[in-house]
């Protein structure tokens, strides 16, 4: 399957990395969690490069903050709500 790498593609993949980081956080597998966080940060950088994402910088800043908290082994947001935030991106990507 050859998928065009759009912001939607990257947001769905960001959701996957954040979900992995959350699972690894719960398992206290911090080495794997850190690797997922690094990948998530790299995905956010790619998302920020898209001109159409310029108006959504606030949203991306919130996601960066959540990822940074997780990186510091703090989880101050409801895990299910965070996963639910990313679900529509994955569903739209798979529905295409």
Confidence (pLDDT) at 56: 79
pLDDT by residue for the chain (96 residues), tens digit each?
566 799 999 999 999 999 999 999 999 999 999 999 999 999 999 999 999 888 878 889 999 999 998 988 888 888 899 899 999 998 998 885
The torsion angle over the Cα atoms of residues 92, 80, 77 and 33, rounded to 10 degrees, is: -80
Confidence (pLDDT) at 67: 92
Q: Which residues contact 57 (CB under 8 A, 6 or more apart)?
A: 48
Confidence (pLDDT) at 47: 94
Confidence (pLDDT) at 54: 83
Q: Which residue has the tokens 């908290």?
A: 69
From CA 28, how far away is CA 52, in angstroms rounded? 37
Nearest to 15 by CA among 90, 95, 92: 90
Please count the helices (runs of H) and the strands (runs of E) in the chain. 4, 0
């Amino acid at each position: 399957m050859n998928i065009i790498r759009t912001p939607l593609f990257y947001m769905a993949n960001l959701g996957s990395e954040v979900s992995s980081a959350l699972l690894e956080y719960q398992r206290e597998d911090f080495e794997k969690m850190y690797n997922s966080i690094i990948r998530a940060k790299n995905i956010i950088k790619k998302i920020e490069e898209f001109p159409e994402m310029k108006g959504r910088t606030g949203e991306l800043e919130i996601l960066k903050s959540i990822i940074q908290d997780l990186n510091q082994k703090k989880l101050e947001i409801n895990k299910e709500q965070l996963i639910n935030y990313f679900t529509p991106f994955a569903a739209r990507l798979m529905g295409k």
